[in-house]
Chains A and B, each alone.
Chain A
Amino acid sequence: MLRKLLKHEFVATGRVMWVIYVAMLGFAVVANLAFRAMDLTTLPQAIRALFMLVLLGWGLSIFAGSAAVVVLLVRRFHKNLLTDEGYLMFTLPCSVHHLTAAKLIAAAVWLAVSVVVVLLDVSIAVMGEEFGLSLQEVFGFVFFGNMTALQAINGVAIILEVIVLMLVGCAASCLQFYSAMAIGHGFTNHKVLWSVIFYFIEQFVLQLLGGLSIALLVNFGENVTNVPLWIMNITAAQAWHAGILLVLLIEVIIGTVLYVLTAVNLKKRLNLA
């Protein structure tokens, strides 16, 4: 059932997402041409100003495109589950977990794709002779450089860990919106207002816990006298792995709590009226 829900979720969201991505990448091509034109010394001031505006528009398009993706994903959850469309979705022969998971997986994938599109967008815009040479250097070092097998394995592992972290982080961010909406829409009146209030309450709690954790760590670091020898001897790669996995663990814990909040509220306090 989850597979079917995912199929329909990607169809429903994909028809809008591709338009945004193509528009962003199209703007990047225009920005690239503007960058190249700006290098011409003989360019009249008026035309130069016009190209500056184009570049400004390109910068804004990255923010607007990214924001549009987030807004669309949040709106999709709201419209498809918490308004009239919810009468169909919640009477499908599947569990609340499947409904939530389908929305979450699709949203996390689209957010991750958006990150890739933004990277691609910037790369296209600044692509030129120098950028090509820089890429050549990077790839030359990665594939033909004087790198040990251990370094290569660590590099690949760190990249994979970052990708997983990115996906989990995207899912946790989505769940903060979802849980706030699920709680807010359990009320009889002012559902949207309650959703916004609960989003900020969650945000406040997360910031508070994050701040307290950092303060405790700093305090511990300042007061610790006997640092174990194994900590002093860890390599840079091990420190990277430990750091990424720690952040990943925190994101998983936050995501789990928010997921439970979402699922329980959709199951026990659903109020489509």
Chain B
Amino acid sequence: MTPILECRDLCKRYGSVQALDHVNLSLAPGRIVGLLGPNGSGKTTLIKMANGLLPWERGDLLIDGMVPGAATKSIVSYLPERTYLSDWMTAGQTLDFFQDFYPDFRRERAEEMLLRLNVPLNLKIRQMSKGTREKVQLILVMSRRAKLYLLDEPIGGVDPATRDYILSTIISNYDPGATVLISTHLIADVEQVLDDVVFISQGQIVLQKSVDEIREEQGKSVDQLFREVFRC
């Protein structure tokens, strides 16, 4: 089976800083994977490269066997750590936008989730609070029937109640055959939903295992193992 995301000897530099250092990684379809690492470890860089937002110097990165481009973008649903919606748009206009560009966008599901969140379709993005904007963005991203969801720090900087909302939205909306890659350093919150974990440190993959393997072989939770591996 073709891996949904594959990195072979992938390298990326920012000036003198080695952001990704000979990364080898393969993600199978149908898994929820945690890309875990401290700040500045290369998580966002890897996700940006998988989205075709950053070029790399060496190695290969393939999405479903293809180099990132227009074709891969139609099967990848990406949630960046920033709000990317135009503030003059209404919630309804953002749905129109996604519906126009992504054939896999499920508008009814998005409208249903917005309704549950008490966000009227005529409310402008600029009138929403930061938390509501993030939720609307997540709803848009998770309303797609994508093959790969790349979620960059979806629970960073939000209150615990919002974290629960975000995680339940992810779990209840992703396509079971799809892979969800969640980048975060808040391990305890996401551990319960993960199938596999990838530890990344200083641009290198230091561990890739299933959560069950970690629990059975080492008798530890992912959070405990993370604290051991990344102890300062």
Contacts and interface: CB of A to CB of B under 8 A. Distances in A.
B55 A84 contact: no
- Interface size range on A against B: 20 to 34
A92 B73 contact: yes
Contact of B76 (A12, A91, A95): A91
B82 A87 contact: yes
B97 A8 contact: yes
A91 B51 contact: yes
Interface in A40-95: 80, 84-88, 90-95
A270 B100 CA distance: 25
A10 to B, nearest CB: 13
B70 A95 contact: yes
Interface in B40-75: 48, 51-55, 69-71, 73-74
B177 to A, nearest CB: 19
A85 B15 CA distance: 25
A270 B86 contact: no
A91 B55 contact: no
A84 B71 contact: no
B102 interface: yes
A272 interface: yes
Contacts of B101: 1, 4, 92-94
A93 B73 CA distance: 5
SS of B interface (majority):
loop
A81 to B, nearest CB: 11
Nearest to A7: B100
B130 to A, nearest CB: 13
B54 A270 contact: yes
Contacts of A91: 51-53, 73, 76, 78
Contacts of B69: 95
A88 B101 CA distance: 11
A188 interface: yes
Contacts of B26: none
Interface string B67-102: 001110110101010111110100000000100111
A89 to B, nearest CB: 8
B100 A93 contact: no
A270 B55 contact: yes
A92 B88 CA distance: 19
Contact of B84 (A84, A95, A188): A84
Contacts of A92: 73, 101
Contacts of B85: 85, 88
Nearest to A3: B100
A177 B183 CA distance: 36
Given A87-B82, A188-B14, A268 B70 contact: no
Contacts of B86: 12, 80, 85
A90 B88 contact: no
Contacts of B71: 93
A268 B54 CA distance: 8
Nearest to A12: B86
B53 A93 contact: no
Interface in A1-28: 1, 4, 7-8, 12, 15
Given A4-B101, A7-B100, A90 B83 contact: no
B55 A93 contact: no
What 4 A-B pairs come out closest when comparing CB atoms?
A: A93-B74, A88-B84, A87-B84, A93-B73
17 contacts: A1-B70, A1-B101, A4-B100, A8-B97, A84-B80, A84-B82, A84-B83, A84-B84, A90-B52, A90-B53, A91-B51, A92-B73, A93-B71, A95-B69, A188-B14, A270-B53, A272-B53
